[in-house]
Amino acid sequence: MSPPRVTSKVFTDEDRRLFKALGQYLAQEDAAILDASITHNISQLDLAAKLGIAQPSVCYRINQSLIRLRLIEQFRALYPPEFPKLLQTYVPDPIDREVFRTFLGSCNQLSTAEAHRMTQGRVRYRFIRTLGLLDRLIEIHAPEGAKPLRDFLAFAFNHSGKGGLKGYRGPLFSDLEQP
C-alpha cells in the first residue's frame, strides 16, 4: 500500500508575508491559487478539481509562485537606486537598454524577442553584452562602492536564464525608479 499523497501545504508566516507584500506581481491565476491556499486554506485537491488540472500541477504552481516571490523580494532588495542613471550613462544604445529591461523583467527570451521584433539569439546577445558593458564600466569608473551594483548584476545574470522571475507581471522597474 502506498502512502497517501500530501494535498495541502503548511504555509509559514514568511510565506504569508511574502504573498501579502508581493502577491500582486504574480500572474493572475498563480496569485489566485496561492490566495486560495494561503488565505482560504483550500486543499490542493479541491483547487485541482475546480481548475480541471492535476493536484501535482497545483502543488508545482504553489511552490513555483513562492520561489518567484522570494526572487522578486531579493531582486527588489538588491536593486540599486542609481541603476537607471547607470544604464542610461553606460549603455548608449537605447535598443540595448530596452531589451535589457524587458528581458530582465520577464526572464523570457521569446516574449522579449517578440516585443522587440528580433530573434531570441539577438535578445540573448544584447542582454549579455549589456551586462558585460555595465560590469566593465563599473570596474573602470567606480571600483569602490560598486558592490551593491555588482550584486544586482550577478543576481540578474544568474536568474535570467532560469525563469526565476518569469511570471512577474508587475512594474519591475517603474515602481523602483520613482524619485
Task: Classify residue 71: in a domain, yes or no.
Answer: yes
Same domain, 84 and 156: yes
Per residue in 20-77, pLDDT tens? 988 887 778 888 999 999 999 999 999 999 999 999 999 999 998 888 888 778 777 7
8 lies in some domain: no
Q: Does one domain contain both 56 and 97?
A: no
The domain total for the chain is: 2
Contact of 18 with 66, CB cutoff 8 Å:
yes
- Residue given cell 537606486 in the structure block: 81
Most confidently modeled range among 14-18, 98-102, 111-115? 14-18
Q: Is 2 a domain residue? A: no
Q: Which pLDDT value is given to residue 91?
A: 86
DSSP assignment, residue 118? S
- pLDDT tier for residue 142 given thresholds of 50, 70 and 90: low
φ/ψ of 94, rounded to 5, equals -65, -30
Answer yes or no: do 45 and 28 share one domain. Answer: yes
| Separation between Cα atoms, residue 76 and residue 167, nearest integer Å | 15
150 plus 84 within the same structural domain = yes
Residue 1 domain-assigned (yes or no)? no
Residues 68 and 55 in one domain: yes
Among the candidates 58, 76, 94, a domain finishes at: 76
31, 48, 76 - which closes a domain: 76
Mean per-residue pLDDT over the chain, rounded? 77
- What letters, b where the CB count within 10 A reaches 16 and e where it falls short, cover 30-42? bbebbebbbeeeb
Question: Residue 151 belongs to what domain range?
Answer: 80-160
Q: Which grid cell sits at 161?
A: 536564464
> Does residue 7 lie within any of the structural domains?
no
Alpha carbon distance 58, 45 (integer Å): 8
Note the pLDDT of residue 130. Answer: 86
Q: Are residues 54 and 120 in the same domain?
A: no
Residue 145 is classified by DSSP as T
One domain, residues 137 and 116: yes
Model confidence at 173, pLDDT cuts 50, 70, 90, reads very low
65 and 87, same domain (yes or no): no
pLDDT of 6 > 60? The answer is no
User: Which pLDDT score, from 0 to 100, does residue 128 have?
Assistant: 83
CATH number at residue 21: 1.10.10.10
Are 52 and 68 in the same domain?
Answer: yes
Q: What is the pLDDT of residue 5?
A: 47
pLDDT for position 45: 93
Task: Tell me, yes or no, whether 155 and 136 share the same domain.
Answer: yes
Identify the pLDDT of residue 4: 44
* Whether pLDDT at 143 is above 70: no
Cβ neighbours of residue 53 closer than 8 Å, sequence gap 6 or more? none
How far, in Å, CA of 83 to CA of 20, rounded? 27
Q: Residue 73 to residues 5, 14, 92, 165: CA-CA distances in angstroms? A: 31, 12, 29, 10
Contact 46, 109 (CB under 8 A): no
